[in-house]
Chain A
Amino acid sequence: MNGIEYHIIEIIYGSSNDRRKGGIEVRKVAIVRGGLAKFGVRKATYKELAQEAGNAVFDDIPNLDKKDVDSLFLGSAGPDRFAFQCYPAPLVAEQVGVQPRNLIMRTELACASGQAAMRAAYASIAAGLSDIALVMGVEKMNTPNLAEAQTTMAAVMDREWDGVNGMSAPPFFAMIMQRHMYEYGTTREQIAKVSVKNHDNSASNPFAQFQQRFTIDDVIKSVEISKPIRLLDCSGITDGAAGIVMTTEEKAKEFTDTPVYIEGLGQCNMGSLVSNLPSLTTWESLKVAFRNALDMAGKGIMDMSFAEVHDCFTISEIVIYEDSGMCEKGQGGKHIEDGNPYVGGKLPVNTHGGLLGTGHPLGATSIAQTVEVIEQFRGEVPEERYVGGEWALTHNLSGNANVHSVLVMRRGG
């Protein structure tokens, strides 16, 4: 907003899909299977959550020998603060019993730390640096003092110039909600429908923090957090962990009859400081990330069977409908009112319950979205939220919506 020129055109044409057009040979990357530790306020430590998710992953891939895992990518946003633990990657490797010998790293991209780990694994496998990678996301956010977690979240913003003003995730997205209602006439009831829909979906998800249904009235009368945002407009402060195994197309066939291929990747960052963002209500970097990921896959947004997107707050999902091209700008409220993002609608969004329903353990969030994609493709979700199909995407935003990350996935086998 500060008259900064963002190089929107330049970024689009310098996109990741040029690599394909240029014919550079890379290996095709597949996701084998995944597993979760239950999300919620857990009576378990950071390391114990990692063990649970590791246990679930290796249980699901019985013929994978842990010795053959050559790389570990760990998405974890803030263990340094939340769990008073720096340098968590070797710690998690020891907990789950792998000895990475090709690549080991922890990736940090706030709310998209898990997708950052997947993208690093993709790059490493595609380039031939890794063959079999364990990709995990672990976050322990709940401590006896909630203000400590809030302090860490506020430090995701530019601490000296935004955080210092009390700016954090809820107030930031509250300003977006305030502006969206002002600019487009979006109603409080329309926005609340996102929470109702996603909690309806998470009600049948055993790994979700919230297996409970709510009404529009419940949402718009829930406790005020940062006006106009209320408690049921917010995703949870969540402990959780998730893991997947990623490998080459060839190797994946040894472990599963339904590999999931990563066919498109798009990511874009514009700005950092709140006052320097291109806009509050139009997310330019989201448009670039979606376009690049979908172009790389040769698909359009409405070709997806379903989409798991970053509903950290109800208003986020409304803006995502619009800027991803699911509907016209300003029509996000009407889009959900018309039934489009529900299971059975034009393009179901957040079939697993989203972040609103399942919780948001930052580093684990994106991996859990991916587990939903795998299980949808395999037909392993309850009937009431089954979509299936062949194409899906996952999306994460991070920080003050200045970075957007998108993965387009295809069912193999």
Chain B
Amino acid sequence: MAKIELPYLLDFCTLQTEDFTRIHTFFDNLKEGRLTTTKCMKCGEILWQPRTVCPHCNADEMEWIDLPQEGKLFAFTEVIYGAPLGMEQDAPFSIGLVELENQPMSVLARIDDAHYEDLEVGQEMKLKIITLEDGRVWFRWVHKK
């Protein structure tokens, strides 16, 4: 079980193991360097975020598919003040919405190593997987080059 520093109900990062979530496979895959999501086995819709039930056709059988880890920056900001508890010490930090390569899907994440002035719509971005101190994983964007 993950070690939690903030009280659970003040920790934005969700619990990731099979004791707590039915989409623990997402986090297991992320640990192995794969960005994945669920695809409905009945209607074929690719869902973000990963689901256990398809909101389109109501089927509950999903398969895991790999998503591209590169894309183009669509929208962005840089948080200076007002970050929530647990993220105050990280500010300033940037956030961006990235349109995935060859996949009609956008993924929001923090952007590392870039201020607002370094960012432009259309820039090539790539995924960066981060590991928290307690072993949980998450993802961010960075410039591709």
Cα–Cα distance between A168 and B77 once the two chains are bound (Å): 11
Is B104 within 8 A of A2, CB to CB?
yes
Contact status of A224 and B80, CB under 8 A, knowing A179-B75, A182-B121 = yes
Cα–Cα distance between A171 and B95 once the two chains are bound (Å): 8
Is A150 within 8 A of B84, CB to CB?
yes
**A280 at the B interface (CB under 8 A):** yes
Chain A 295-333: CB-based contact to B (< 8 A → 1; otherwise 0): 000000000000000000000000000000000000000
Which residues of the other chain, B, contact A161 by a CB distance below 8 angstroms?
A: 49, 108
Cα–Cα distance between A159 and B97 once the two chains are bound (Å): 16
Which residues of the other chain, A, contact B49 by a CB distance below 8 angstroms?
A: 160-161, 273
**A228 at the B interface (CB under 8 A):** yes
Contact status of A2 and B108, CB under 8 A, knowing A178-B75, A223-B81, A227-B77 = no
Q: How far is the CB of A84 from chain B (nearest CB, A)?
A: 12
Is A163 within 8 A of B84, CB to CB?
yes
Q: How far is the CB of A405 from chain B (nearest CB, A)?
A: 23
Is B85 within 8 A of A171, CB to CB?
no
Is A166 within 8 A of B79, CB to CB?
yes
**B72 at the A interface (CB under 8 A):** no
Chain B 22-61: CB-based contact to A (< 8 A → 1; otherwise 0): 0000000000000000000000000011000000000000
Cα–Cα distance between A280 and B97 once the two chains are bound (Å): 11
Which residues of the other chain, A, contact B48 by a CB distance below 8 angstroms?
A: 2, 273, 275-276
**A226 at the B interface (CB under 8 A):** yes
Q: Interface size of A by Cβ–Cβ distance < 8 Å?
A: 41
Cα–Cα distance between A153 and B83 once the two chains are bound (Å): 10
Contact status of A148 and B77, CB under 8 A, knowing A162-B108, A275-B108 = no
**A274 at the B interface (CB under 8 A):** yes
Q: Which residue of A lies closest to B120 (CB)?
A: A182
Is A150 within 8 A of B108, CB to CB?
no
Which residues of the other chain, A, contact B138 by a CB distance below 8 angstroms?
A: 164
Contact for A225 among B12, B82, B104, CB less than 8 A: B82
Is B75 within 8 A of A175, CB to CB?
yes
Q: Which residue of B lies closest to A146 (CB)?
A: B82
Which residues of the other chain, B, contact A229 by a CB distance below 8 angstroms?
A: 77
Cα–Cα distance between A174 and B81 once the two chains are bound (Å): 13
Interface of B is mostly: mixed
**B63 at the A interface (CB under 8 A):** no
Is A275 within 8 A of B85, CB to CB?
no
Chain B 66-107: CB-based contact to A (< 8 A → 1; otherwise 0): 000000001111111111111110110101010100001111
Q: Which residue of B lies closest to A274 (CB)?
A: B108
Tell me which residues from 206 to 242 in chain A have a Cβ below 8 Å from any Cβ of chain B: 223-229
Contact status of A163 and B12, CB under 8 A, knowing A178-B75, A178-B77 = yes
Interface size class of B (residues with CB under 8 A): 35 or more
Which residues of the other chain, B, contact A1 by a CB distance below 8 angstroms?
A: 74, 97, 99, 106
**A165 at the B interface (CB under 8 A):** yes
Q: Work out how many contacts link A and B, with CB atoms closer than 8 A.
A: 113
Contact status of A275 and B105, CB under 8 A, knowing A164-B138, A224-B81 = yes
Contact status of A167 and B108, CB under 8 A, knowing A224-B81, A275-B97 = yes
Chain A 260-290: CB-based contact to B (< 8 A → 1; otherwise 0): 0000000000000111100010000000000
**A147 at the B interface (CB under 8 A):** yes
**A170 at the B interface (CB under 8 A):** yes
Q: How far is the CB of A191 from chain B (nearest CB, A)?
A: 15
**B1 at the A interface (CB under 8 A):** no
Is A3 within 8 A of B84, CB to CB?
no
Is A280 within 8 A of B75, CB to CB?
yes
**A356 at the B interface (CB under 8 A):** no
Cα–Cα distance between A151 and B88 once the two chains are bound (Å): 10
Which residues of the other chain, B, contact A223 by a CB distance below 8 angstroms?
A: 80-81
Tell me which residues from 118 to 145 in chain B have a Cβ below 8 Å from any Cβ of chain A: 121, 138
**B10 at the A interface (CB under 8 A):** yes
Cα–Cα distance between A1 and B97 once the two chains are bound (Å): 10
Is B82 within 8 A of A150, CB to CB?
yes
Is A164 within 8 A of B79, CB to CB?
no
Q: Which residue of A lies closest to B97 (CB)?
A: A275
Cα–Cα distance between A167 and B86 once the two chains are bound (Å): 13
Give the top 10 A-B pairs by smallest Cβ distance, nearest first.
A174-B77, A3-B104, A151-B84, A227-B116, A175-B75, A164-B12, A154-B84, A275-B106, A160-B14, A227-B78
Some 22 contacts from A to B, beta carbons below 8 A apart, are: A2-B105, A147-B83, A150-B82, A151-B10, A164-B13, A164-B138, A165-B108, A166-B79, A166-B83, A166-B87, A167-B108, A168-B84, A171-B79, A175-B95, A178-B75, A179-B121, A182-B121, A225-B81, A226-B80, A227-B80, A274-B108, A275-B107
19 new A-B contacts, CB < 8 A, other than A1-B99, A151-B85, A226-B80, are A2-B105, A146-B82, A148-B85, A151-B86, A155-B12, A155-B84, A164-B12, A164-B138, A166-B90, A171-B77, A171-B79, A175-B75, A175-B76, A179-B75, A223-B81, A226-B77, A226-B79, A226-B81, A229-B77
